[in-house]
Structure 1
Amino acid sequence: MRTSNHLIGVLNFLTFLVSVPILGGGIWLSSRANNTDCMRFLQWPLIIIGITIMVVSLAGFAGACYRNTFLMRLYLVVMFIVIAVLIGFIVFAYVVTEKGSGQVVPNRAYLDYYLPDYSGWLEERVASDSYWPKISSCIRDSKVCAKLSAVPETADMFYQRKLSPIQSGCCKPPTECGYVYQNETVWNQGGGLVGTDPDCSRWSNDQQMLCYSCDSCKAGVLASLKKSWRKVSVINIVVMIILVILYVVAYAAYRNNRRMDNDEPYGQARMTKTQPSAFHL
């Protein structure tokens, strides 16, 4: 009995440690939301899952130390629910970020981003009239475009920069529009016609406007979200596998405790026949 309780206590402590990367991933997404991605509601599921695992692990640890059956059962039930929710969140994150990627531009190191390449729940959420004004205001306040012009450079130098999706989509006009580079956030019309992309007429050299109303800016936000979520999802998959292994071992130890509480020798069936009937051919 003591060995099983110690094992459950150790498993709960390990579960507590495993919750740290999940909570850390939620906090990292939160910092990204405040600085660049600007989708503040997306990090809360991970933060809630991480905190829940921490609290339940402490409850299971206390149940193992004090042989509190209720706390140990609570740990097993809640952890099963948490694992199921975590699996659902991982699947959801991959489904909503499945489509869309940047397009290669000739003679440019950066990519261009187009909203029609994205679709689904996340695209509708980002591009909606109720959310986009808040997101674009957040990007403007983050000064992500102002940081591009920290060091003066020529057009050729700028063309070889590896811009982030938001910098490429929000801080410059789409390449096909044919604007002429003046500096990182000032582009003038060339001698020819402006491209047919609606974003070409949305571009403004006003530093408070730029391309914040462009579809390319929305696509840049979606590409940035996809990159962030995929990084966190890799960590979540590893954590989920560890949680499943720990849960299976903890459940086996809990079953062993119950068997010993019922004075059942290991491997003995609960029911036996007092007088087995003989079988005759």
Structure 2
Amino acid sequence: MVRFSNNLIGVLNIITFVLSIPILSAGIWLARRATTDCEKFLQWPVIALGVFLLLVSLAGVVGACCRNSCLLWFYLLVMFILIILLFCFTVFAFVVTNKGAGEAVSGRGFKEYRLGDYSNWLQKRVDSDKNWRRIKSCLQDGKVCRSLQEKNQTWDQFVNYNLSPIQSGCCKPPTACNFIYVNETFWTKPVGYNTSVPDCNAWQNDQSVLCYDCQSCKAGVLANIKSDWKKVAIVNVVFLVFLIVVYSIGCCAFRNNRRDNAYTGLKTYP
């Protein structure tokens, strides 16, 4: 008789199988409709995740419900590798996002960010020309700065507005430049402005340029990544506990399979 653990593993993997279908469909949809670099970058990870969940859940269902020890062993092996990888990634995410924070600016409602405040590993990722071209393309496609400009704020409204890290780093020049405000993404460079700050020289009022090549923009992206990775790491801890519980139940199901198969063998060959 199929044990309770086998039934539970079967139910959990049926749910996973059902969830893998919309994930795989979304990846295929992106592959057919993708027009921007960001969408094209996402399509293959989404498809890979959908296929992975589909195959693993099928192995789990057949292995548990049909008492196929080979498939269930494969399922447990994949689960074990996934637990190890997830644990390593979670620890890594906490380590690389441990450094870096925005600096409050006197008389401003927003913070500004410096690239040197973040971990060396993250700095190297955004300092790579190839990586930054892709990130910059995503920022431009996302129209983050255009959405800020559309607010059409006065100077007093702007300085008290809580800008996101990316808006603060990429859509305006650093406060140290002392540029003259025209609107959120258009600033006049006065005579004798602070040329010692590289970002002041990099700033352009061209809406396709702005401060996308500034160090402050890269720092703003890292601040956003840090926040997102912290949230992902916390979710990973919860998911990791769930996977360990499922893996333990799967081990019970595997033991049941071997016991049932051994019992069946004894009945066949008295």
- Shorter-chain TM-score above 0.5: yes
The 3 A distance-change label for structure 1 pair 156 and 39 is farther
CA distance in 1, matches of 2:226, 2:40: 14
| CA apart distance, 1:15 | 5.8
| CA apart distance, 1:77 | 1.2
Show the counterpart of 2:10: 9
Deviations 1:239-267 (A, max 9, x none): 1110101111220232133234434xxxx
Which letter maps to 2:205? N
| CA apart distance, 1:141 | 3.2
Deviations 1:209-232 (A, max 9, x none): 211111101111111122222222
Show the counterpart of 2:267: none
| CA apart distance, 1:142 | 2.7
| CA apart distance, 1:163 | 1.2
| CA apart distance, 1:49 | 5.4
CA distance in 2, matches of 1:61, 1:8: 7
Which letter maps to 1:205? N
Is 1:218 aligned to 2:232, yes or no?
Answer: no
Which letter maps to 1:10? V
Which letter maps to 1:142? G
The 3 A distance-change label for structure 1 pair 50 and 241 is farther
The 3 A distance-change label for structure 1 pair 169 and 79 is same
Q: What SS class does the counterpart of residue 219 from structure 2 fall into?
A: helix
| CA apart distance, 1:236 | 2.0
| CA apart distance, 1:48 | 4.3
RMSD of aligned Cα (Å): 3.5
- TM-score, normalising length: structure 1: 0.77
| CA apart distance, 1:56 | 1.0
1:49/1:86 contact within 8 Å kept:
no
Gapped regions of structure 1 (runs ≥ 5)? 264-281
Show the counterpart of 2:266: none
If each structure's helix is expressed as a fraction of its own residues, which one has the higher value? Answer: 2
Show the counterpart of 1:124: 124
Show the counterpart of 2:133: 133
CA distance in 2, matches of 1:51, 1:232: 22
The 3 A distance-change label for structure 1 pair 164 and 17 is farther
Deviations 1:137-178 (A, max 9, x none): 332233211111213221110111111111110110111111
1:49/1:82 contact within 8 Å kept:
no
The 3 A distance-change label for structure 1 pair 49 and 243 is farther
The 3 A distance-change label for structure 1 pair 148 and 133 is same
Question: How many equivalent pairs are there?
Answer: 257
CA distance in 2, matches of 1:8, 1:70: 15
1:8-157 equivalences in 2 (<5 Å): 8-13=9-14, 48=48, 51-157=51-157
- TM-score, normalising length: structure 2: 0.80
| CA apart distance, 1:86 | 1.7
Gapped regions of structure 2 (runs ≥ 5)? 264-270
